[in-house]
Amino acid sequence: MPVFVGIGANLGDPVAQVFDALARLGRDLPETRLSGRSRLYRNPPMGPRDQPDYVNAVARLETRLEPRALLHRLQATEVACGRRRDGTRWGPRLLDLDLLLFGGEVIDEPGLRVPHPGIAERDFVLLPLLELAPGLMIPGHGPIAALCRGMPGTALQAIPEEARA
């Protein structure tokens, strides 16, 4: 099943954190392989402005895991990378992994909503998704290309590959 995972970090060395997360997604998830990734982007934080800019990317995975099992693995990866959940919404973090899309499925269960809530309003998710899958249809929202046309994207800055830690 093709899935897309959003990756974000704004503490420590965010570029290194995102590349480390990509490596972990490619090697540590059972029955799953990393099949693509977007460029990395720097962008202002969503929510409280008194925190560092974020570095974001999107990974495309192929998995045989069920959605809830994949979510648990993603959360375990966050913890392994130093993430501590303290209930702060949109606060600073070492690593954030969001299950954005799980094939064409729509899931609305306690603790698991796919497509990810807010996906259609976040340029730091949509523009990297467009890079990976320009023909993608987001259930309940339509074609990725149409959604991206409504995004300014002006706050996003692509990070050159040579910035890799």
Could you report the per-residue pLDDT of 91-100, keeping only the tens digit for each?
678 899 999 9
The model's confidence at residue 165, banded by pLDDT at 50, 70 and 90, is very low
Alpha-carbon distance of 64 to 89, in angstroms, equals 30
pLDDT value at position 87? 59
Query: Is 96 a catalytic site residue?
Result: yes
Reported pTM = 0.92
Is the C-alpha dihedral spanning 31, 165, 89, 136 positive or negative?
Answer: negative
pLDDT value at position 89? 60
- The backbone torsions φ and ψ at residue 64, rounded to the nearest 5 degrees and listed phi first, read -105, 0
Residues 60, 96, 122, 123: which is the catalytic one? 96
Average pLDDT over residues 124-134: 94
Residues 93, 123, 149, 164: which is the catalytic one? 93
Query: Is 83 a catalytic site residue?
Result: yes
The CATH number corresponding to 2-161 among 3.30.70.560, 3.40.50.300, 3.40.1170.10, 3.30.1380.10 equals: 3.30.70.560
The model's confidence at residue 88, banded by pLDDT at 50, 70 and 90, is low
The DSSP H or E segment spanning 123 is helix 123-132
